[in-house]
Structure 1
Amino acid sequence: MAHLSALKWGTGTRTFEMFLEPTCPFSVKSLRKIQPLLEKVGEENLTVHIRLQSQPWHMFSGVIVRAILAASTLEQGRGKAHYVLLAVADHREEFEFTDHCSGPNMNTTPAEILARLETYSGVALAEAFTLEDVTKAVKWHAKYSRQNGIHVSPTFMVDGLIDPAFSSGDSVDEWAGRLFP
């Protein structure tokens, strides 16, 4: 049976949940702030969770979310999932449609997307991609988002409450100041 590693960094009692869609440019900005934020406030003070928020206007979103969760089942799963997230972030145009509906990816298959993810991340995903536990995890992420009233990415929750004051355009210092006033 596969074990999914939590997409969690830090050990603090304050909890910051980031609902991200991997191909969303605003989610990418947010993703890149996790490590600097933890360095700023201290890993012992903050726990950051990535919650994957698949969105239908990002056409390969479901495939990519599933691949990230598949990576989390592998040895050193959290790190492998992070590699896949960064591979998408670093090569967004390879995983997204132009204007959400056109462009070179129109003839791309899910198998080709998975192969690109493996190439860019260096993580072998194909076998884990088919696991039933990954299906359960995809459903859990979707259900958790819906139960919390989250429909778009990025959305941020602090200690279990949505906080609309956070934006992907904010600096790490602004985030730190909101989390620890």
Structure 2
Amino acid sequence: MVTTAWHAAELTWGHGPRRLDVFLEPTCPFSVKTFNKLWVLLEHVGPDRLSITIRLQSQPWHLFSGLIVRCILAASTLPEGREQARRVMAAVAARREAFEFEHHCDGPNRDATPNDIIARLEHLSGVPLRAAFSTPDLDRAIKWQCRYARQNGIHTTPTFMIDGLVTPGMSSGDSIEAWADTLASQA
């Protein structure tokens, strides 16, 4: 039997009993808005009271979605994988237009190859992705993310799940205080 030498780190920050799963597509503008607020929310509520887990939800209309999700999960297999993955997500969030098509169909990224996108992510994040991206069975981690989302009825991003229950009232446009109030009211 062949054993896998890699492990994808869980993308969880905080260690509190209240669990917030956030399903994100890295190039979705609403997911980017959500991603950028998560760290402020964690500080606001307290890492001893809240655990935030990012779940990656690839969406085919974001044409590099699968490639970028694989890059993030590849980063999670590196030393300090959780933080490496966060650096890749932050690079995408900061320069979304470098990884997305205009109107989901056009623009300069039509000429970009997967290797161009990987090199761009390596440059912007400082994370060496190429070798980890080439891990042959990394697709197991990608498939796990897909199955988990489907089993929970997740179809769009961002979607929020508190303690295992989808919370449709939460939105990327909400304030940190509104998110904290929703977390408190769902207790």
Q: TM over 0.5, yes or no? A: yes
TM bucket, shorter chain: over 0.9
Equivalent of 1:166 in 170, 174, 177: 170
In the other structure, the counterpart of 2:144 is 140
- Which has the higher mean CA deviation after the structures are superposed, 123-132 or 168-177? 123-132
In the other structure, the counterpart of 1:180 is 184
- Unaligned runs of at least 5 residues, structure 2: none
1:15-26 correspondence to structure 2 within 5 Å: 15-26=19-30
The share of aligned pairs that are identical, in percent, is 57
1:134 to partner: Cα distance: 2.0
1:33 to partner: Cα distance: 1.1
Alignment length (residue pairs)? 181
TM-score of the superposed pair, with normalisation by structure 1: 0.98
1:14 maps to a residue whose letter is: R
Equivalent of 2:54 in 50, 53, 58: 50
TM-score of the superposed pair, with normalisation by structure 2: 0.95
1:79-118 correspondence to structure 2 within 5 Å: 79-118=83-122
Deviation track 1:91-131 (CA, whole Å, cap 9, x = no partner) reads: 11110000000111111111100010000000000000011
1:55-94 correspondence to structure 2 within 5 Å: 55-94=59-98
Say whether residues 1:129 and 2:133 are aligned partners.
yes
In structure 2, distance between residues paired with 1:59 and 1:4: 24
1:132 to partner: Cα distance: 3.6
SS in 2 for 1:51: strand
1:108 maps to a residue whose letter is: A
In structure 2, distance between residues paired with 1:150 and 1:177: 23
In the other structure, the counterpart of 2:160 is 156
- Unaligned runs of at least 5 residues, structure 1: none
4+ residue runs of structure 1 moved beyond 6 angstroms? none
